[in-house]
Structure 1
Amino acid sequence: MTSEFLFATWSGGGAVPPTLSVARALRERGHGVRVLADRSLHDEVAASGAEPIAWTTAPQGDTTDPAGDLIKDFEARTPMGAFARLRDRLVCGPAADFARDTLAEMRARPAGVLVADFSLLGVLTAGEAAGIPVAALGTTLYPFPTAGAPPFGPGLRPATGVLGRLRDRILTELTIRPWARGLPALNAARLANGLAPVDSVIDAFGRADRFLVLSPRALDYPGRRFPAHVRHVGPRLDDPTWAGDLKLPPGEAPLVLVSLSSTFMNQRALLQRIAETLGTLPVRGLLTTGPAVDPAAVRAPGNVLVTAAAPHSTALRHAAVTITHAGHGTVVKSLAAGVPLVCVPSGRDQREVARRVDLAGAGIVVGKSASPRSIARAIERVLHDPSYRREARRLATEIAAETATDRAVAELEALAGEGAPSGPSRSMSS
């Protein structure tokens, strides 16, 4: 039996390909799939086989163009400033607009299941108001407080002992508190659609019927415990439609794949520093700048090929190491291929992803201000210490087991079969 799925996403860089991968898989199984999305994404949506639908009142952006970026977190001077932009410009501030557009689309053409990027709380509000099953997609590590994990963001090691647990309680409260400024706008959207207000923004994230984590369970902390509606369904390993064809630098030296953010994060200087570092080593470099940086802006030594894009899944078959900002997509594709990493986190969720790589023994973390010499030492260590490749291959085996069946599609088809939710939604504290 086929169903109608309405997806909702935004121009969020690395969050888009895994979301559209799920949409594509459902479409290939005969389901009707349409996607509410920024106009800048409509070609990608159409390439997935789904029908693109434009937002009408909700804000839109284009992360391939710094001027068109909705969040512009690269302009923030502090991590808290970057967080405030996300809260006020996407998650909470325009919640009423996202809810209005979503409900209008569902009134025009009903859907059996609503599937939304978890950060679009306005969309999740609309699904709750409409009384249809709602699935939130998390395209990175699960980011909310749970037992068995430190607070998300700083990239802390798991706590040990009484002092460690005290650290986590204090820091969890400090990381939750800034969400309070988004609560009035979110509750205004809820009240406008006949829903009771919530006590906290964190609670609102937990009101979906399913929270599907598109990340390897094997990459997260073994002792971490999750709410019952959270399901790890494995990563999506598809390349984006704009990845193009693969061209490798000539020679037989070990290949180093370099990939920083597909969005603009003021990464030009770091790309240049990495290129110069590779020029001092007996390696070949394939440096992909992504859509937001002009390849011509990076001066490359002779052993480094600079290109806007390449299909990473294919390139990784040839790679000995990946250098990355620790974006979730690049990391999981590298680990799925058994390729160890040098992580240079720059913000967002990247410190958390890098910490997981470090603790798994599958790579090394260096600071974004690291000197060429420090970067070179990290590359050489990962290349010549076999333990990093061994641990990357261990994770590759676990990821292969997690992705042997399409758990995301199975969960969504099951949700479609359940129909309207039969009971009250859960809170994040469950």
Structure 2
Amino acid sequence: MQANDPKLKSFIATTPESHFPIQNLPYGIFSTGADPTLRAGIAIGDSVLDLAILADADLLPVPSEIFRSGSLNQFVALGHATWRATRDAVSQLLRDDNPVLRDNRALRANALLPQDHVTLHLPIDIAGYTDFYSSKEHATNVGSMFRDPENALLPNWLHIPIGYNGRASSVVVSGTDLHRPKGQLKLPDADAPIFASSRKLDFELETGFFVGQPNALGEPIDIDVAEQHIFGMVLLNDWSARDLQQWEYVPLGPFNSKSFGTSISPWVVTMEALEPFRVASPAQQPAPLPYLQQHTDNGYDIALEVTLTAAEDKSGLPQTICKTNFKAMYWTMAQQLAHHTVSGCNTKVGDLMGSGTISGSTPDAFGSLLELTKNGQKPLTLADGVQRGFIQDGDEIAMTGWCQGDGYRVGFGSVSGKILPSR
């Protein structure tokens, strides 16, 4: 059986709702209280498989020091053949009919750890971070809010995957709390800006992909091979201070309104695991220029949800405020990478590319509070009558996503973060 076969079963039991069945096998970086060394692991069910331990036992095609390097970068740099060989080897070891790991109690005790006993870290040392603006629904909603709805999309939007360079230094792993940012904002009736804490703090529901195969300076990546340069995907929350953003974004785009923090999920789901969920992306009209024209389906069917846990809600229960799907994205990852490099821009292993806010066509599918609450004018009503126009101090935002297979899911886990008061 191939590693993506829906009939595969592992000796480690998983439920149909588990994000980490044997068909997934995402990579991450973890440590434990007993061993603070940062090392690579794979999620399987509720466990983490220590790849360095398996490599020490000569069960993987990669030296164990690669998995003890503190990030996935050295492993990713080994390329496609190694990614596939490693995933295949792990898949074989985890199968219910393979006794090598299943029946070796000592090896299992060392190599398999409960997920709730480990600390997860940033999976990759991020060389650079670019965020795109690729959902037509989101761009239309925002353009309609701040410009004439008849001209919601700027003239270039249907021709170019719009993007900007963000701050790799402030990308953090899920569970990292962030302080409310301060900066310049201009109140509607004021003649001049003030310096203050953001009053319109928002989330942006996104995914991100990591560059796995770099390109040299001056050598663009052709769209037909672009996905071969992608290692895998994560969930991404590009936190946004909307009031800072509205004042600063003309003419060069977001700056302090975004750079204070971007959260990603800890497990990197490989493109190979996502392959069964490839779908056609939305029709593009007008047709893109030739270097952006796709010759295969480059969309992915990934269900996405966002929850908000309000600080004053005594139940402490998260409230679902958004449900959408990645397959609605107008510009694909392949187009984003092809456009990013068409100028001759080089990429590096570990570069992170954000999708941009993912919004669907219905109000409950909008991927930001800016859209869900009409810029705070129509607040959401949560449990116990709690209302939210934008994020308040103490609120926690969590995002999750998965691909639905036949009796199994290939999931991303979650990315979460709490907002603390300004410093």
TM class by shorter chain equals under 0.3
**Highest RCO, 1 vs 2 (Cα 8 Å, sep ≥ 6):** 2
Q: TM-score, normalised by structure 2?
A: 0.24
Q: Report which of the two has the higher share of strand.
A: 2
Q: Judging by fraction of residues, say which structure has more helix.
A: 1
TM-score between both structures, scaled by the size of structure 1: 0.24
